[in-house]
Amino acid sequence: MKRTLSIVICMIMLLGILPVSAALAEGNPFTDVSEDDYYYDAVIWAYENGITSGTGTGKFSPDKAITKAEVVQMIWAAWGRPEPMTTVNPFTDVKATAYYYKAVLWAVENGFIMPTSSTTFSPKAKFTWGQARDLFMSTVPTDPFTPPEFFWIIDDDETRTCSRADAITLIYIIYVASF
């Protein structure tokens, strides 16, 4: 009888805890992103809008370096995955079967990101702060009255690699400023 009662009490406790845990997981599916992180709102916005699902197993990997392919895929997804106008792929390193194929064509034709050359895009190259600055400055309308904190993107080291957290925060700011 004691054992049965213990099992019933454990089940009741478990059933009472599970809905709370599930509700918490719905809001933030990533174990490596905290509400205290500067990129929290951007990551949750990106997740809720189908822009990113993370890097697998409940992780966003905020400190991981991000590639140009990942950045253009996120930008393209944020803008609703529009079809590129061009149907001709000038890039020898971007295959038609790549997950980022349409994103690259669309992002380049809209001036969101520059290719490496007229025939290469370098999708596996790390996205740098110099590229982030160029992306920001080419897409966000600014004027003499733009608050200084809006320019957090300007970094002295243009070759420093952007993290996934920095890139999604940049995309979030650009999207919010554009719409």
Average pLDDT over residues 51-65: 94
Higher pLDDT, 109 or 154: 109
Residue 38 has pLDDT above 50, yes or no: yes
pTM of the shown model:
0.75
- Condensed to tens digits (0 to 9), the pLDDT of residues 61-91 reads 999 999 999 999 999 999 999 999 988 999 9
Higher pLDDT, 126 or 7: 126
**Number of other residues whose CB lies within 10 A of the CB of residue 129:** 19
Residue 2 — pLDDT band, cuts 50, 70, 90?
Answer: very low
Distance set, CA 29 to CA 7, 24, 65, 147, 171 (Å) = 30, 8, 20, 33, 20
Residue 14 has pLDDT above 90, yes or no: no
Amino acid at 15: L
What are the residues facing 162 on neighbouring strands?
Answer: none
Q: What is the chain's mean pLDDT, rounded?
A: 79
Residue 168 — pLDDT band, cuts 50, 70, 90?
Answer: very high
Asked if residues 73 and 167 have their Cβ atoms less than 8 Å apart, the reply is no
d(CA 164, CA 161): 10
- Condensed to tens digits (0 to 9), the pLDDT of residues 86-124 reads 889 999 999 999 999 999 999 888 888 888 999 999 999
Residue 19 has pLDDT above 50, yes or no: no
Average pLDDT over residues 29-43: 95
User: What is the reported pLDDT for 10?
Assistant: 34
